[in-house]
Amino acid sequence: MQILSITSGKGGVGKTSIVCNLAARFGQLGKSVLLIDADLGLANVDIIMGVTPKATLEQLFRGEKTLAEILTPGPPGVTVLPSGSGVKELTHLSDEQVMHLMQALEELDQQFDILLVDTGAGIGKNVLDFNAAAQDVLVVTNPEPTSITDAYAIIKVLARDHGVRRFKLIVNSVRSPKVARDVYRTITTVADRHMSDVPGLNIEFLGHVMYDENVSLAVLDRKLLVIGRPDSRASLCIADLADRLLEESGDRPMTGNMQFFWKRLLQQPQA
Ligand SMILES: Nc1ncnc2c1ncn2[C@@H]1O[C@H](COP(=O)(O)OP(=O)(O)OP(=O)(O)O)[C@@H](O)[C@H]1O
Ligand SMILES: [Mg+2]
């Protein structure tokens, strides 16, 4: 199982749009995907995905619902774990609740090929915890200077304080692929200068997504971009990102699995 979280320094740069469409694209390619909405801000995976959660994590913790009742089917191949107010409690659970959740999650391991986590922006504890628990962190930025600076800042915090080593940069809303490469170069130049002491740090360029009004139009017509507008420029970019991620997953053994992810998440030190 491949475990990827998606984050950004600055909000509103396109994380949720990208992660929902990546999930649907993986589904189109025959993969089985679990998408966790861990964004505590505007929890909008369900809106972009067009799913209606029937229960929340909170109800699981209270023992009122089973995990199966919370998992919500999305587009073909995709299952959504909606956030609701329960997500912020994930890192503040009692030992008993952790045991309960771990047992429920154990059976999911076999079911999914890819786990995607939409974590929200910035350096809140919850965002950091989810990213620290993933194998690879997809960092989204757009070409604006403030967004680039904040992307670098989140990479720095995750690498320095949370032991994250592998980052994959996605530059969204670009007018040309060259702009995206330039953004990547800016970030790695600063990282080379200021983070060369971090062993094993790897910031890779995953790719770009073109600026494309079809991204927001797809939300209006309540059909995911890659499903309803598969030939749009942004859809084709997302398909490329999905291909690259799958290629890479073939390159190395799948060391982490779902249980490791949850253990790492649930065992983060309390704030
Ligand atoms: N490639 C793109 N081209 C045009 N518009 C885009 C593109 N990507 C995202 N958008 C638009 O930008 C807005 C923000 O996108 P989105 O909600 O995915 O960002 P986010 O990073 O998840 O935000 P938040 O930090 O609030 O969770 C949306 O209106 C979306 O339609
Ligand atoms: Mg979002």
CA 86 – ligand 1 centroid, Å: 24
pTM over 0.85, yes/no:
yes
| pLDDT tens for each residue of 16-47 | 999 999 999 999 999 999 998 887 665 578 88
Cα of 206 to ligand 1 centre, how many Å? 18
Averaged pLDDT, groups of 10, the chain, 271 residues long: 91 95 98 87 76 79 82 94 68 70 72 89 81 91 98 96 95 98 98 95 98 96 95 98 91 63 76 56
Element spanning 138, H or E: strand 136-141
Q: Are 203 and 167 in contact (CB under 8 A)?
A: yes
Q: How far is the CA of 216 from the centre of ligand 1 (A)?
A: 8
Residues whose CB is less than 8 angstroms from the CB of residue 235 and which lie 6 or more positions away in sequence, other chains included: 21, 214, 225, 226, 229
For the packed helices 145-162 and 177-194, what is the interaxial angle rounded to 10 degrees? Answer: 40
Is 155 strand, coil or helix? helix
Q: pLDDT per residue over 54-98, tens digit each?
A: 887 777 777 788 888 889 999 999 999 887 655 666 666 677 777
Residue 5: strand, helix, or coil: strand
Number of C-beta neighbours around residue 46 at 10 A: 18
Look at residues 172, 265, 250, 261 and name the one whose alpha carbon lies nearest to residue 211.
172
In this structure, which topology does domain 2-266 adopt according to CATH?
Rossmann fold (3.40.50)
| Shortest-distance ligand to the CA of residue 20 | 1
Rounded to 5, what percent of the chain is helix, strand, coil?
Answer: 50, 20, 30
